[in-house]
Amino acid sequence: MPKPFTPVPRTAAADPLPDDGEDFLEGPVQSQRTGSAVSPSTIACLVLSIAVSVYLSVSVVPRFQPRVHDDPNQFGASLARFERRLSKLESDAGVLTHHQQSIGLLQGEAEQRLKKLEVLLTEVQTAHRGGKADQSDTAWTDPDYASYEANGRVVGHSDLYPRRGDPWLLPSRDGDWFLFSLPYVQGIPSLVASAVKKAFPVHPKASVWLLSAPSNGIELPGHCLPLNGSTGYVDVKLRRAIRLKSFSVEHIPRVSAFNITTAPKDMALYSLRGDQDGFEPRKLASFSYDIESTPVQTFPVLQGGESADDLVVSQLRLQVNSNHGSESYTCLYRLKIYGDPE
């Protein structure tokens, strides 16, 4: 009789074949393992990147890193050069500071001179507008009959002062000749001095210094008739006979004068009448030049002498009785004479 069938339980070891569920799970696993394999192009890219990195680290990166001098002598030389350049910069800075200080001083001096010129211009303008109350309003419109350009001339003067270095002592300056000034030089024998004075009684520049108008309209220092000492006189022949009304004496402004003490102070004006045998002086006015006033000071002439005819003059003498302190010489810059023609 046949035996009954008994089922045997399965085990994993006993059953190598997967069931349907195992086949369902195994399929995806097999696919993933197959897709994760590295391709040759990926390997090539990896090798190339490693090569580029090595190149950059060896060739490029060191160029951007600070150089370190391994040689102490080379480092010391570089440091010495740096110190020399630093010293030169400090020296240049010191020179620049010195120049800046010099420029500042020059600028200050220029400003002071500019202010001085402004004061001088103001004084000259004030003088030519009439100045103080003693200025004559009509004097600036009346003709000057003593003007060198109008043929006024200096015909006599007291001893002049031969200042060393003056152009009129040089034989080659403006046609002057030293003999004209020779009689006034100290130490010249009296016989020689008197002989030269007789030959040249009037210095040829006297009329230009006292009676001419400066080209720029302003008297310059030194352009004067220098009388020796603190007193003296000068005789002037006018263009023609006039009835004297006023006269003016001009000096350079105090602000531009090298030595204001040479300016005249107490003076007198005389008329000279006579002939070749001699002149008789007649006093017409006494006056004082004020160095604190304007450069040009005009003085009226009042009735003088015994009659009105005393004011009819053709030749005058300006007498200087004192100056403002100089014992060496007195400077006369300009004399102007105003009046009505006879």
Report residue 287 as tokens: 């006056």
Based on C-alpha coordinates, what's the Rg of the chain?
Answer: 56
128-160+214-341 CATH pick, 2.60.120.260, 3.40.50.720, 1.10.760.10, 1.10.10.10:
2.60.120.260
Q: pTM above 0.75?
A: no
Q: What are the pLDDT tens digits along the chain (342 aa)?
A: 555 555 555 544 444 444 444 444 444 444 444 455 668 888 888 888 888 777 777 666 666 655 555 556 676 777 778 788 888 887 877 777 777 777 877 787 777 777 766 666 665 555 544 444 344 444 456 899 999 999 999 999 998 887 655 544 444 444 444 556 667 777 778 887 788 788 778 888 889 889 998 776 677 787 889 898 999 999 999 999 999 999 999 998 888 888 899 999 999 999 998 765 677 888 999 999 999 898 899 999 876 554 566 789 999 999 999 999 999 899 999 999 999 988
Q: What is the three-class DSSP state of 100?
A: helix
Rounded to whole angstroms, the Cα distance separating 334 from 56 reads 97
- Whether 228 and 160 have beta carbons less than 8 Å apart is answered as yes
Tell me whether strands 232-250 and 278-288 are parallel, antiparallel or unpaired: unpaired
Burial of 7 (0-12, 13-18, 19+ CB in 10 A): exposed
Given this model, what pLDDT does residue 243 score?
A: 92
Comparing CA positions, the residue from 317, 229, 237, 207 lying closest to residue 271 is 317
Cα 34 to Cα 25: distance, rounded to the nearest angstrom: 15
Which amino acid makes up residue 77? A
Distance in angstroms (rounded) separating the CA atoms of residues 107 and 14: 120
Can you give the pLDDT at residue 77?
79
Whether the Cβ atoms of residue 338 and residue 324 lie closer than 8 Å to each other: no
b/e per residue, 235-263, with b = 16+ CB within 10 A? bbbbbeebebbbbbbbbbbbebbeebbbb
Cα 295 from Cα 249, distance rounded (Å): 8
Domain assignments of the chain as residue spans, ordered by start: 128-160+214-341, 162-202
Helices (H), the chain: 20-35, 40-55, 72-129, 190-199, 206-211
At 24 the pLDDT is 41
